[in-house]
Structure 1
Amino acid sequence: MTPDTAFAELTGILSSLLTQAELFLLSLLRPWNAYQIGIAVGLFLAAHLGARLIAPRIYEWMRGLESVAKWRMRVLVLLHRRVRMILFALLAWLAVLVMREITWPSRSYLLAIVAELATAWLFIAVITRLIGNPVLRTLVRYGAWTWVTLSILNLTELARQALDSIGISFGESRLTLWLAMQAVILLLVLITLARFATTVSAARIRSNDDISPSMQVLAVKFLQVLLYGAAFFIALKLVGVDLTGLAVLSGAIGVGLGFGLQKVVSNLVSGVILLLDRSIKPGDVISLGETFGWINSLGARYVSITTRDGKEYLIPNEDLITGQVVNWSHSNDFVRLDIYFGTAYGDDPHKVRKIAIEAAAGTARVLADRPPVCHIVGFGDSSVDYILRFWIKDPTGGLTNIRGNVYLALWDAFQEHGISIPFPQREVRVLEGSELGTRKIADERGNL
């Protein structure tokens, strides 16, 4: 279809619509049609006044309800907000039934159309509240209102022809506004279904204890990509888009993205590797450089880690693949901690080792089935140096705090048994013949 032909077709359709609109406006001048319009206006005013009277009473009744299911209360709130439209639809259908009994059906034709529109709009407004996304809900609501209105007024074919005449050509293919609208509507519907299926499947996967946390994340991510990708391609296929050209275009785009988004692609691939080899998983305690914390979630591009001070770090997946990562809970939860201390040379080292082991063993979180050990590691300038090693099984509870508790237990035990912890001491001597020494001698003679 050439642009001139498309423009001529669009002009003809618009001319036909204008002609029908003119005939409709002229028909309103007929007595019975004018009466029906007047009746519809009167019914709307009656519904408005009725809502002003009824809605407050319904609201007070709702406030007095107790032990009502949450979904039932939501339904009541939804209906309460649309009392006027409900009353108008009921009054319109009642007027149509009465007029068809008293007069001929043709004399209630316009009023029947008004009743159908009111009912359809009310039904769509209620149903679309089930859509959680506000933007998607607005698009679906107004799109459904438009389509239902055109269907009731028998203008769908003209609207389709008008939309089909607007478009652009790509060689032998033509993309029209009608085709684009179909694709968008189908895509929204399929994405909604895919999202619902993903949510249900993800809940079942996470509730399966036989699947490791990392494999659960991988399965959910794979399912999301599969369902959303299938929704996109199925929507294009249903509206008649040739996917062969799309494959060539996607290949060219993929080459460009491969050069421009190397880091992003690297992080995506690294994320898949982390999920497959299960080296880290949600809940693990890891150290990466100066960062120590717990893994919250594994994302497609980064890993979320929360530290003890409440900071949340988003570490790229590539850093976890290429860097040196300490996983404190990879194969098991057992962690050995070392602390160093020194005592004076006058203290018996056998006694010191025994007291240190007993102090560590009596500290909470230190494992009894893997008892602490204490060894001499050297003779320092002013102290005998020791290392105290002990095991814990809950690294998620923190490492610094358990070290501090063991140090405090050592302090209390050494104070109880009279064991001293030496510290460096310095002695300053003033040499004879120096300026300070001469001044000191002079001061001493003056005092004599």
Structure 2
Amino acid sequence: MPLQQLLADLLGDIPKPAILWQALAIVVCVAAGWGLGRLIHRSWLENHQHTGLIGLGMGSFGRVLSPLLMVAFLLVTRAAMADHRSVHLLDVAVPLASSLAVIRTFFYLLRRVFARRGQLGEALQTFEKIFALIVWLGVALHITGVLPDVLSFFESKYLPIGKYKLKLSDMVEGIVSIVVLLMLALWAGAALEERLMRVDRMHSSLKVVLARMSRAVLILVAVLFSLSLAGLDLTVLSVFGGALGVGLGLGMQRIASNYVSGFIILLERSLTIGDPVTIDKYSGRVVRINTRYTVLRGADGTQTLLPNEMLITGVVQNQSTFNRNVRATTRLIVSYDSDLAIVMPLLEAQPRGVARVLEAPAPNVLLNAFGADGYELEVGFWLADPENGQGGPISDVNQKIYALVQAGTIKLGYPSMDTRLLDAHIASVVARTPSQA
């Protein structure tokens, strides 16, 4: 068998100096390929501009230049040593190094085109490690000659599923095709989304809905195509479709409602990313609209995940639809001894000059009521950036009013009680009480 022959050849080379020469040659080839690749890549980047098609191509090719040089050096060394020494160890090293070079080249190009950053790039790196392990395992089986036996084993075994029997090789082929096609669908979806987000003339909501729908369609097509490649009859999915419909009708109503509401929001463009909104007791800026929920960032930096159903069935205050200006107010009670002809213009001037307060519409002061303790006044002013909160300007205006109170310019009203009736009652009681001699 090839495995026994390979082991016998390697064991036969161990007592001989040939095994040491081969090991030394492998170490030298690996070091030379890695060092020369790094040197060429660094020299090109230092002496050439990183623009243009040639610069982009060299920048990409430099990443995989080292493993390719390792393979080239190993091939030249094996050819040079074949006439004089045994090269069994090099026969093992060459295909392993070649598979490494192929994997590095293939996955780097995919990552460069589709997933250069983000969560998809991390998922691609994980998939690269798994795929590299599978390829290396296949190369090892091929070198040892065990690969035909493994393939025949998978071809001869069947997995019983109800009254059907599924060949084990078909199941493995289906799993592999599903994984590969799903990854390709995700990469294509990410590339399409990136291109859509660069289109300036398209509305942001339309970009998002097109990206979501295209990714869902690509995943669905990839799954159906991979199942058909595996030889699975797609009519069996009708049972799954019926079960899914029953599940949506019984236990997934709210989830389905949120997904449908998300597409309605994106298509209607009633909300867009960046809008300052108020929904129920939540206020903030819309930072992301997903198909199931919407992310709202408050003025204090906290993020709230709101189900899309709330945005469809509830009342939404969108400050950016027509007019972004929002009126902020602060209230105070001044003494009845105050002259409103002087106090009201004085209070009206306090918001002027405060950061974020608009000059037009101008601040104003309203006399809301005649309270038990004094005049109830409301100082109102307008803000153009409600997404940043109202607490800062209100605090600044209150501090300026406080300075007027401390200076005695404005007198605040204090709780008071008219005690004249009580005093008269006490006097009458004292008059009727006989004096104690």
The verdict on a shared fold, with TM-score over 0.5 as the criterion, is yes
CA RMSD, 1 decimal: 4.5
1:124/1:144 contact within 8 Å kept = no
Task: Quote the residue 1:14 is aligned against.
Answer: none
1:128/1:140 contact within 8 Å kept = no
2:78/2:90 contact within 8 Å kept = yes
2:283 paired residue among 281, 292, 305: 292
Kindly provide the CA deviation profile for residues 161-180 of structure 1, in whole angstroms up to 9, marking residues without a partner as x.
32122232457854322222
**Identity over aligned residues, as a percent?**
24
* 2:334 paired with 1:343: yes
1:213 paired residue among 204, 216, 223: 204
Kindly provide the CA deviation profile for residues 97-155 of structure 1, in whole angstroms up to 9, marking residues without a partner as x.
2366679xxx97x6775354233233245236536424311221122223445556776
Q: Distance in 2 between matches of 1:97 and 1:67?
A: 33
After TM superposition, the structure 1 = structure 2 runs for residues 251-270 of structure 1, keeping only pairs within 5 Å, are 251-270=242-261
Q: Distance in 2 between matches of 1:302 and 1:202?
A: 19
After TM superposition, the structure 1 = structure 2 runs for residues 247-396 of structure 1, keeping only pairs within 5 Å, are 247-396=238-387
Q: Taking structure 1 as reference, are residues 370 and 100 closer, same or farther at Cα in structure 2, changes over 3 Å only?
A: same
Q: Taking structure 1 as reference, are residues 39 and 276 closer, same or farther at Cα in structure 2, changes over 3 Å only?
A: farther
Task: Quote the residue 1:97 is aligned against.
Answer: 79
After TM superposition, the structure 1 = structure 2 runs for residues 93-172 of structure 1, keeping only pairs within 5 Å, are 93-98=75-80, 113-114=91-92, 116-127=94-105, 130=108, 132-133=122-123, 134-150=125-141, 158-170=149-161
Q: Distance in 2 between matches of 1:61 and 1:366?
A: 59
Deviation at 1:382, TM superposition (A): 2.2
Deviation at 1:46, TM superposition (A): 0.6
Deviation at 1:408, TM superposition (A): 2.9
In structure 2, give the amino acid aligned to 1:93.
L
Deviation at 1:224, TM superposition (A): 1.5
Q: Taking structure 1 as reference, are residues 347 and 277 closer, same or farther at Cα in structure 2, changes over 3 Å only?
A: same
Tell me the SS of whatever aligns to 1:425.
coil
Q: Distance in 1 between matches of 2:45 and 2:334?
A: 68
Deviation at 1:293, TM superposition (A): 2.2
Kindly provide the CA deviation profile for residues 393-427 of structure 1, in whole angstroms up to 9, marking residues without a partner as x.
21122112222223333444566682322121357
2:174 paired residue among 156, 162, 183: 183
Task: Quote the residue 2:4 is aligned against.
Answer: 25
Task: Quote the residue 2:183 is aligned against.
Answer: 192
Tell me the SS of whatever aligns to 2:350.
helix
- Range that drifts further, 301-310 or 120-129: 120-129
Q: Taking structure 1 as reference, are residues 66 and 369 closer, same or farther at Cα in structure 2, changes over 3 Å only?
A: farther
In structure 1, give the amino acid aligned to 2:175.
V
Q: Distance in 2 between matches of 1:218 and 1:78?
A: 37
- TM-score w.r.t. structure 2 length? 0.75
Q: Distance in 2 between matches of 1:156 and 1:27?
A: 14
Q: Distance in 2 between matches of 1:139 and 1:259?
A: 39
1:213/1:281 contact within 8 Å kept = yes
Q: Taking structure 1 as reference, are residues 52 and 86 closer, same or farther at Cα in structure 2, changes over 3 Å only?
A: closer
2:6/2:144 contact within 8 Å kept = no
Q: Taking structure 1 as reference, are residues 40 and 117 closer, same or farther at Cα in structure 2, changes over 3 Å only?
A: farther
1:40/1:111 contact within 8 Å kept = no
- Range that drifts further, 242-251 or 121-130: 121-130
Q: Taking structure 1 as reference, are residues 354 and 125 closer, same or farther at Cα in structure 2, changes over 3 Å only?
A: same
In structure 1, give the amino acid aligned to 2:260.
V
2:298/2:387 contact within 8 Å kept = no
Deviation at 1:225, TM superposition (A): 0.8
Deviation at 1:381, TM superposition (A): 1.5
**What stretches of structure 1 of length at least 5 have no aligned partner?**
1-19
In structure 1, give the amino acid aligned to 2:270.
S
In structure 1, give the amino acid aligned to 2:80.
V
Deviation at 1:77, TM superposition (A): 8.1
Q: Taking structure 1 as reference, are residues 65 and 194 closer, same or farther at Cα in structure 2, changes over 3 Å only?
A: same
* 2:221 paired with 1:230: yes
How many residues matched? 409
1:355/1:413 contact within 8 Å kept = no
Q: Distance in 2 between matches of 1:146 and 1:53?
A: 24
Q: Distance in 2 between matches of 1:238 and 1:423?
A: 84
2:234 paired residue among 224, 236, 243: 243
